[in-house]
Structure 1
Amino acid sequence: MTIAQHKVVSIHYKVVDVASGETIDSSEGGEPMVYLHGAQNIIPGLEAALEGKQVGDEFEVTVAAADAYGDYSEDRVQKVPREAFTGVEEIEPGMAFTAQTAQGPINLIVTEVEEEMITVDANHPLAGKSLAFSVSVASIRDASEEELEHGHVHGAGGHHH
């Protein structure tokens, strides 16, 4: 069986930040990641690289930022008044918040703290980064009707990223 639209695939993987050589994430020593192929459950560049692969295949692929978590956008960095953080006593750089917006929830990271203004960055932490994946395909199966309807995997090992 090969990886194609509507297949449920489990992979072992390691992701490295190309620029720093730092390992960002790895399934080593844990459960493989399970996803529904063709449902945009994973970043486009990795999904494209997995297309047509078979169980036991091992490969490496470098995914450019645009095909991973998008380019880094200065427009997503904003200064907001400290009052916006009501109920938060200590605000420090590196803290993550979820802001409810008209477009749905956005994750923000505090990058700078001044007396009146707090600088927040809504870019994905991996935006602007090229990512190198080492992947091995653990299993492939047909998706169930329900999985296809819901657009993601159900049961053991199915989790969202």
Structure 2
Amino acid sequence: MTRLGGMIGMSALAFGLLVQGAWAGESAKGGKPRVSDGKQVSLEYTLTLDKKTVLESNVGKEPMTYTQGAHEIVPGLEKAMEGLAIGDKKHVEVKPADGYGEVDPKAFQEVKKSQIPEQAWKVGTQLEAKSPDGQSMFPRVAEVKPDTIVLDFNHPLAGKTLFFDIKVLDVRPAAKKPS
């Protein structure tokens, strides 16, 4: 009995060590920190549309840093980052539902031309406006009609599939917020 009890005790100890390693965000191979909720992650990325049109890239520049699980990046990318380790590279495809959402037809608003500066009467012009509660909004001119302008309040990347090529540069415990 003592021998069996000792084996169970050893198994529990081994299990406890394994769990502690997982809580620390370390992988079973090599002990590299892994991306998990609450970790501060630094990465380099290239964002493209249609797998060819580069929208943004920070490769060779300052890394992007965010806290995993804090909803600081689009949900589809955050989900794909989970479990990656320093040095890992990945190609991630983010559908609109997990990115900036689908295009919302209710986010288009038609206004009189007199409400928009004449130099902005061009499709694609980005404007700055204030909502009734004082929040900044950045609608784009979607259409110019004889007497009105149609403004699009959707995010510019709404309805688009995003392609990220990422490389994890660093994973560490998130900085403590001052109390």
TM-score, L = length of structure 1: 0.82
- Equivalent residue for 1:90, pick from 94, 113, 119: 119
**Partner residue, 2:45:** 13
Q: Which amino acid aligns with 2:49?
A: D
Q: 2:148 matched to which residue of 1?
A: 117
- 5 Å-filtered alignment, 1:18-57, equals 18=50, 21-57=52-88
- CA offset digits 1:35-62 (Å, max 9, x no partner): 1111111000000000111100011111
2:91 is aligned to 60
Query: Which residue identity does 2:156 align to in structure 1?
Result: P
The ranges of structure 1 where at least 4 consecutive aligned residues each deviate by more than 3 angstroms after the TM superposition are none
1:135 maps to amino acid: I
RMSD: 1.8
Structure 1 residues without counterparts, runs of 5 or longer: 150-161
Higher relative contact order (CA 8 A, sep 6+): 1
The DSSP-based 3-state class of the residue aligned with 1:83 is helix
Structure with a larger share of its residues in strand: 1
- The alpha-carbon deviation at position 113 of structure 1 amounts to 2.2
Residue 75, structure 1, aligned to residue 106, structure 2: yes
Q: Which amino acid aligns with 1:3?
A: V
* More displaced stretch, 74-83 vs 135-144: 74-83
Question: For structure 2, which runs of at least 5 residues remain unmatched after alignment?
Answer: 1-32
Count of aligned pairs between the two proteins: 145
Q: Which amino acid aligns with 2:137?
A: I
The TM-score, its normalising length taken from structure 2, stands at 0.75
